[in-house]
């Protein structure tokens, strides 16, 4: 018999966070999150996502053993302002038992029906800056700190239960040694002169902070036309500023401004933390912090996390300036591999940025949908 219990206490939420650690124990491609970071994400007092969303966390038990988990989420900004009457599910992990998946998803359906919503989509988080999608290809590739890893049967469970594909995401990789600087060096000089632009680069994190709010404003305007986009709120700006910016090498954050110091493009690249997170195994202490700090300073892999361009400057080659500055930094640091985060199949503007980099799609993931 399968029993579903809401994880509504600190102990149960800790069990909820720790379940994947047993499900993927010693798995070579799963990247453990930090337990403290996950608990903060699910804390309604700490995470400003709860200003516009509600979420319920559930554990599945079988023979007194945890065999699955799921989060049922409503983003009210999306429902009320975008008229997308959907309930989300996320942070879904399960043993290979479709009856467990079915029982967990029933809690999502209950929340949707209670609020007269029309369909379910997932897996996805509270907002666009959360993890997204079931992995459908690339199971033999190491994941990243900003993606979920899962076994191949996850997709099978959803499809057997009648779910259909909603959105497709691609992840790609390219070797830095294959990057030909001639494709952007000359163009960057011409574009910089034509539009009177300049690149802002940094060596100290504190110098970045005054620009972060403008960066999120630009993020909102450059991504607003994409499906399922929900704007970052003022409180979320402060939250992400404190949570993520210190993790990133200041040299890996770049802004492009015009002659009036208006931000027209930004980019955030993260060091490759995957192997360090595997060594940390969910804990900062006693040695997790050391592994992360070492990776921040010495990792030879990078992850292109976010790139945003003012709609007025899209298709004008502004990214040539971005690539020029990163080429200089990556060469100096001895970077060997560059990874791209999940990009929507429909986001042609982003795909076109990489046409000269000989990148290869090495992972695919998707969200699934079912009508209520």
Inter-residue contact 141 to 29 (CB < 8 Å) = yes
The parts of the chain modelled with pLDDT lower than 50 are none
For 174-364, which CATH class?
alpha beta
Backbone angles phi, psi at 21, to 5 degrees: -65, -30
Residue 172, both tokens: 């790609």
pLDDT in tens, 306-351: 898 999 998 899 999 999 999 999 999 999 999 999 988 888 777 7
What pLDDT is stored for residue 228 in this prediction? 64
Which pLDDT score is estimated for 247?
82
Q: Which two tokens stand for residue 225?
A: 């036309």
Q: Residue 343's Cα: distance from chain center in Å?
A: 10
Give dist(CA 232, CA 216) in Å, integer: 7
Q: Is the peptide bond before 123 cis (omega within 30 degrees of 0)?
A: yes
- In this prediction the pTM is 0.93
Matching fold, domains 2-169 and 174-364: yes
Exposure class string for 119-142: b at 16+ Cβ within 10 A, else e: ebbbbbbbbbbbbbbbbbbbeeeb
Which run of H or of E encompasses 120?
Answer: strand 119-122
CATH number belonging to domain 2-169: 3.40.630.30
Ranges of each domain in the chain: 2-169, 174-364
Question: 3-class secondary structure for 176-240?
Answer: HHHCCHHHCHHHHHHHHHHCCCEEECCCCHHHCHHHHHHHHHHHHHHHCCCCCCCCCCHHHHHHH
Question: How high is the pLDDT of residue 231?
Answer: 81
pLDDT tens per residue, range 35-85: 999 999 999 999 999 999 999 999 999 999 999 999 999 999 999 988 999
């Amino acid at each position: 018999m399968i029993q579903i219990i809401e994880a509504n206490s600190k102990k149960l939420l800790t069990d909820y966070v720790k379940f994947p650690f047993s499900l993927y124990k010693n798995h070579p491609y799963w990247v453990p999150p930090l337990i403290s970071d996950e608990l903060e994400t699910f804390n309604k007092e700490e995470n400003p996502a709860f200003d516009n969303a509600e979420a319920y966390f559930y554990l599945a038990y079988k023979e007194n053993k945890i065999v699955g988990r799921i989060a049922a989420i409503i983003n009210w900004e999306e429902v009320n302002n975008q008229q997308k009457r959907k309930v989300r599910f996320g942070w879904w992990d399960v043993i290979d038992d479709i009856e467990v998946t079915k029982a967990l998803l029933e809690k999502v359906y209950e929340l949707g029906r209670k609020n007269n919503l029309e369909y379910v989509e997932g897996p996805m988080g509270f907002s666009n800056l959360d993890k997204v999608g079931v992995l459908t290809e690339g199971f033999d590739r190491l994941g990243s700190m900003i993606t979920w890893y899962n076994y191949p049967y996850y997709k099978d469970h959803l499809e057997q239960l009648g779910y259909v594909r909603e959105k497709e995401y691609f992840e790609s990789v390219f070797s830095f040694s294959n990057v030909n600087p001639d494709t952007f060096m000359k163009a960057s000089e011409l574009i910089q002169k034509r539009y009177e632009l300049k690149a802002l680069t940094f060596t100290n994190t504190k110098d970045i902070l005054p620009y972060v709010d403008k960066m999120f404003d630009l993020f909102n305007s450059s991504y607003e036309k994409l499906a399922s986009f929900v704007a970052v709120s003022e409180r979320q700006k402060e939250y992400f500023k404190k949570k993520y910016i210190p993790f990133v090498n200041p040299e890996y954050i770049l802004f492009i401004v015009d002659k009036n110091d208006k931000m027209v493009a930004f980019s955030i690249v993260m060091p490759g933390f995957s192997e360090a997170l595997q060594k940390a195994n969910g804990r900062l202490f006693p040695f997790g912090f050391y592994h992360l700090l070492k990776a921040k300073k010495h990792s030879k892999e990078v992850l292109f996390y976010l790139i945003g361009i003012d709609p007025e400057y899209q298709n004008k080659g502004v990214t040539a300036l971005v690539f020029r500055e990163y080429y200089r930094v990556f060469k100096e640091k001895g970077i060997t591999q560059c990874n791209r985060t999940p990009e929507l199949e429909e986001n042609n503007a982003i795909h076109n940025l990489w046409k000269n980099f000989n990148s290869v799609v090495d992972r695919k993931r998707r969200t699934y949908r079912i009508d209520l």
